[in-house]
């Protein structure tokens, strides 16, 4: 299959992306978090193609992306009333809500679960497509199973060229890590995946205490130990280890955050700083870039312990497992 390259800056390309989606094809689309591999969520045959293209096990549920909170009722039932406050505050944005699914919703999307994940993405071109066509799209991250989530169109192409109808290039994703996933099933609140929106930010809008399980049985692929993984082995290192290493003649990539680590410069060092927003924005693209260089290893300096780094620590831990 030839994978068409489309751009959000061309009106004709946006129309083409919508047409492909409406006719049951797969299109990789930009969101504010990472690129998603999208199919019309009401078309079961189209959704099945996602699992095939990604080589994703059938029991891993997909997030359905909708154009606004008014579409929740179509997909979910028994929605706690306080969900509207969460949507008012955080949608469009990187928050996925897991709710009880409507009976008509196919098991293919939900991986056989009785629940569905819904999110309104904060990407104007994508929202336009969803809004104009009254579309909802099922979209996991646009990477082959167990590889890094893509934050650029080039990264999508590197993983899925020839397997999908098109990629819609919207430039680098603004946020850079996958959405925060909160289950609100049964009126309880449980964090299933850390994201850039933290529990402290969510809690004021949730009348019950948000449970943050260390390990859970939920079918979240991000919960599996091997995930978000580049091909080159990744190791987490303290600043002390970095400073006592002799970097001469090594073929080790380094992603650093602290000012002290900037002194360990080699041609394979990428210093992405200690601002959590900027770090998150650059992390996957930097791992991807270093992974292309055929290095012996990628070392990543441990990031700060503060809550705003929770999702970054989680992804790095998984990349390093």
**Interacting residues with ligand TXA (CB under 6 A):** 31, 33-34, 36, 60-63, 94, 96, 98, 110, 113, 115-117, 119, 121, 139-141, 178-179, 181, 192, 218-222
State the nearest-atom distance from the C-beta of 61 to Mg ion, in Å: 11
Structure tokens at 276: 């959590």
At residue 163, what are phi and psi to the nearest 5 degrees?
-110, -10
**Among candidate residues 117, 149, 115, the one with its CA nearest the CA of residue 31:** 149
Structure tokens at 112: 């056989």
State the nearest-atom distance from the C-beta of 284 to Mg ion, in Å: 11
139's contact among Mg ion, ligand TXA, none, with CB below 5 to 8 A by partner kind, is ligand TXA
Interface stretch with Mg ion, choices 99-107, 111-119, 134-142, 187-195 (CB under 5 A) = 134-142
State the nearest-atom distance from the C-beta of 22 to ligand TXA, in Å: 19
In angstroms, the Cα distances linking 62 to 21, 159, 224, 287, 293 are: 16, 19, 15, 24, 32
Can residue 33 be called a binding residue for Mg ion (CB under 5 A)? no
Interface stretch with Mg ion, choices 83-91, 124-132, 133-141, 290-298 (CB under 5 A) = 133-141
220's contact among ligand TXA, Mg ion, none, with CB below 5 to 8 A by partner kind, is ligand TXA
Instruction: Count the Cβ atoms, other than its own, within 10 Å of residue 122.
Output: 18
State the nearest-atom distance from the C-beta of 265 to ligand TXA, in Å: 33
Q: Which is nearer to Mg ion, 157 or 254 (CB)?
A: 157
State the nearest-atom distance from the C-beta of 142 to Mg ion, in Å: 9
295's contact among ligand TXA, Mg ion, none, with CB below 5 to 8 A by partner kind, is none
Q: Which is nearer to ligand TXA, 80 or 117 (CB)?
A: 117
Of 141, 179, 180, 310, which one interacts with Mg ion (CB under 5 A)?
141
Residues paired with residue 191 on neighbouring β-strands, in sequence order: 182
Round to whole Å and give the CA distance between 283 and 164.
25
In angstroms, the Cα distances linking 321 to 16, 69, 193, 240, 314 are: 40, 37, 17, 21, 11
Q: Which is nearer to ligand TXA, 117 or 253 (CB)?
A: 117
Whats the size of the chain, residue-wise? 321
Residue 3 CB contacts under 8 Å (≥ 6 apart), including other chains: 157, 160, 161, 162, 163, 164, 165, 166, 167
* 55 neighbors 159 (Cβ within 8 angstroms): no
State the nearest-atom distance from the C-beta of 109 to ligand TXA, in Å: 8
Round to whole Å and give the CA distance between 102 and 52.
25
Which residues make up the interface to Mg ion (CB under 5 A)? 141
């Amino acid at each position: 299959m030839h994978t068409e390259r489309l751009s959000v800056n061309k009106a004709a390309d946006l129309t083409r992306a919508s047409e492909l989606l409406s006719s049951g094809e797969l299109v990789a689309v930009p969101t504010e978090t990472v690129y998603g591999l999208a199919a019309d969520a009401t078309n079961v045959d189209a959704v099945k193609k996602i699992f095939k293209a990604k080589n994703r096990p059938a029991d891993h549920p997909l997030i359905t992306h909708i154009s606004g909170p008014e579409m929740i009722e179509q997909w979910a039932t028994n929605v706690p009333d306080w969900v509207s406050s969460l949507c008012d505050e955080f949608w469009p944005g990187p928050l996925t809500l897991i709710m009880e699914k409507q009976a008509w919703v196919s098991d293919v999307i939900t991986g056989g679960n009785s629940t569905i994940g819904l999110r309104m993405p904060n990407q104007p071109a994508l929202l336009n497509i969803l809004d104009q066509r009254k579309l909802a799209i099922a979209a996991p991250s646009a990477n082959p199973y167990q590889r890094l989530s893509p934050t650029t169109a080039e990264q999508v192409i590197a993983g899925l060229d020839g397997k999908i109808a098109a990629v819609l290039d919207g430039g680098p994703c603004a946020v850079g890590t996958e959405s925060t996933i909160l289950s609100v099933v049964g009126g309880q609140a449980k964090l299933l995946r850390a994201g850039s929106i933290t529990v402290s930010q969510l809690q004021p809008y949730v009348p019950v205490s948000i449970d943050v399980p260390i390990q859970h049985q939920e079918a979240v692929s991000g919960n599996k130990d091997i995930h978000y993984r580049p091909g080159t082995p990744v190791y987490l290192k303290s600043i002390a280890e970095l400073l006592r290493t002799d970097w001469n003649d090594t073929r080790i990539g380094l992603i650093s955050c602290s000012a002290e680590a900037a002194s360990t410069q080699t041609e394979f060092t990428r210093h992405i700083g200690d601002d959590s927003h900027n770090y998150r924005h650059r992390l996957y693209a930097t791992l991807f870039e270093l992974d292309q260089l055929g290095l012996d290893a990628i070392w990543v300096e441990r990031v700060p312990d503060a809550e705003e780094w929770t999702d970054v620590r989680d992804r790095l831990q998984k990349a390093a497992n």
